[in-house]
Amino acid sequence: MANWQITLIIVAVYCAIVLGVGVFTRTKGETSLSDYFVGNRSLGAFVAFFTYVATFHSSFAFIGAAGQMYSGGIKFFATFTSCVVSPLMIYIIGRPTWYLGQKYNYMTQGELVGDYYESKALRYLVAVVSLIFLVPYLQSQIAAGGIIFETISEGRISYLTGCIILYAVIIGYILLGGFKAVAWTDTVQGILMIVMIWIAGGVVLVRTGGSMSWTNLMQTMATEFPEKVMVPLEYWPTYMTSFISLFGISIYPPSFQRFFAVKNPKTLKWLSVTTPIYLIFFYIPIMMISFSGVVYMPGLEKADQVVPMMLTQYASPVLVGLVMAGALAATMSSTDSQLHSASSIFTVDIYKGMKPEASDKTALFNGKVFIVVISAAALALSVHTNKLITTIVTIALGGCLQILPSLIGALYWKGATKAGAMGGLITGVIVVIITQYVPAFKTPLGLSSGFWGLVCNLLVFFAVSAFTAKPSAENIEKFHGYLAEVNRQCDEKAASN
């Protein structure tokens, strides 16, 4: 049997397993919106941990990160800052969100923000911004899936067919099991990813050059490619600010949805400081593979292909199959969350917003149809891009980050107003698009478009809020009064212990 056939069989078995998880987790009988979109708010710590890290770690980790380390060396470590700092937002934003979701039955950002500012228009705006920036991320994931299938089949499965296979499997288990299927498949995928990437890193290190050890590899890097083991001085402004743009990962709808889904706020607290351990631990073998690639496979046309190419060259077909299943897991674990989240935004914010009298059954049917529609849109876009996955991801996260100020108003700042939140959000999104796509304004000072969008967004948000009407006193009390009471009770409990 040819190597590519062995690899494909392993990948097929993996796809069958995740579909099986979808069947296993499906709800018998009628499903409510809360069940389908936030798993009845019953997510325990173990599954919450893996679904969060697997959603956070997409194909970006397996494919994009290795590509960046291959081409830019340790400049990529700037991403580590976001891996460590951004999850703190799980606590800062996630904790009050959890309490409000539990109390008032929210399932999406749009619902929460729209309710606080007493504005359906803002609810729709948040939903539309989320959907607009979900698509490029989806596109990047599906592109990665296409690359993986094309590489492991040695070109026998085309990029487009690979994308379609990936979508078919993901849509299959989401339609079957909703949030529970997404969370449990994420858990399987999260475990598979970390195990496989470590095995792959070890094998590549041992097989490249036979006696080539870690020390030798690093010494070769330092002598022949010193620019890849240093961060040049001129890169520091980017290094120091890139994490701000990546705060968007916690505001990003699929991550945000998990704030509503966990069983208790303690889970969120520990998620915010323990997810970086998984995330950083993941990048050690990625560094082994990409640095080995620099030494043994220099000049790759597409840096993103370094992991599949190195494995195909140096590992056994069985291992290639297993690791590629891990890479597919990384892609799928993010794609499923994005599709599921897009469906919840469409159903809860837009469909139910327009037709509040619609039954859960009808709303869910429309939400499921939307999954297929948005998949097709992302698939169509993925055919027309050859950009680095990392670049696409950064734009998507920077765009979603623009929802942050309106959330700050709802959760922390009583002075925020509807006009301020809307003005800030619209300004932020426009600035992200201009600083990303208009050549004359592209990423000024080397800082990301998400960063510039957020700066302009905050300026407008605070300035407009200073001169416009606040939400009603009852609504401010409904949110801030309730959260203050929760904090007071927590402090009293802590003081008595």
Partner 1 sequence: MKNRKTRRLIFTLLWVIAFALVNYPIGAMFSTKLEPFILGMPFSVFYFWSAYSLLILAGVLLAWKVMRD
Look up residue 376 and give its amino acid.
A
**Does the footprint of partner 1 cover residue 77 (CB under 8 A)?**
yes
Residues 139-178 that bind partner 1 (CB under 8 A): none
Which of 207, 340 has the CB closer to partner 1?
A: 207
Interaction residues for partner 1, span 297-356 (CB under 8 A): none
Q: Which residues contact residue 464 at a Cβ distance below 8 angstroms, ignoring those fewer than 6 apart?
A: 417, 419, 420, 423, 424
Q: Which lies closer to partner 1 via its Cβ, residue 103 or residue 266?
A: 266
Cα 132 from Cα 344, distance rounded (Å): 14
- Shortest distance in whole angstroms from residue 232 CB to partner 1: 7
Which residue lies nearer to partner 1 by CB, 264 or 468?
264
The 468-497 site mask, x for binding partner 1 (CB under 8 A), equals -------------------x--xx--xx--
Return the residue of 200, 221, 348, 460 that touches partner 1, per CB under 8 A.
221
215 makes contact with partner 1 (CB under 8 A): yes
One residue of 17, 280, 295, 358 binding partner 1 per CB under 8 A: 280
The set of residues, in sequence order, having a beta carbon less than 8 Å from that of 442 and lying 6+ positions away, is 435, 436
Interface pick for partner 1 out of 20, 80, 313, 455 (rule CB under 8 A): 80
Judge whether 135 and 148 are in contact, CB under 8 Å: no
Segment near partner 1 (CB under 8 A), from 25-33, 217-225, 252-260, 472-480?
A: 217-225
How far is Cα 289 from Cα 201, in angstroms, rounded to an integer? 6
- Binding-site member from 104, 124, 198, 239 for partner 1 (CB under 8 A): 239
Which residues does 402 contact at the CB level (< 8 Å), separation at least 6? 129, 424, 425, 428, 429, 432, 450, 453, 454, 457
Q: Where are the alpha helices (DSSP H) in 208-305?
A: 214-224, 236-245, 248-251, 253-261, 265-296
User: Cα–Cα distances in Å, from 53 out to 81, 257, 273, 295?
Assistant: 16, 14, 12, 30
Binder of partner 1 out of 248, 265, 293, 453 (CB under 8 A): 265
Of 119, 429, 56, nearest to 257 (Cα)?
Answer: 56
Verify binding: residue 224, partner 1, rule CB under 8 A: no
Binding region for partner 1 (CB under 8 A)? 74, 77, 80-81, 84-85, 88, 91, 95, 213-215, 218-219, 221-222, 226, 229-233, 236, 239-240, 264-266, 268-270, 272-274, 276-277, 280, 284, 487, 490-491, 494-495
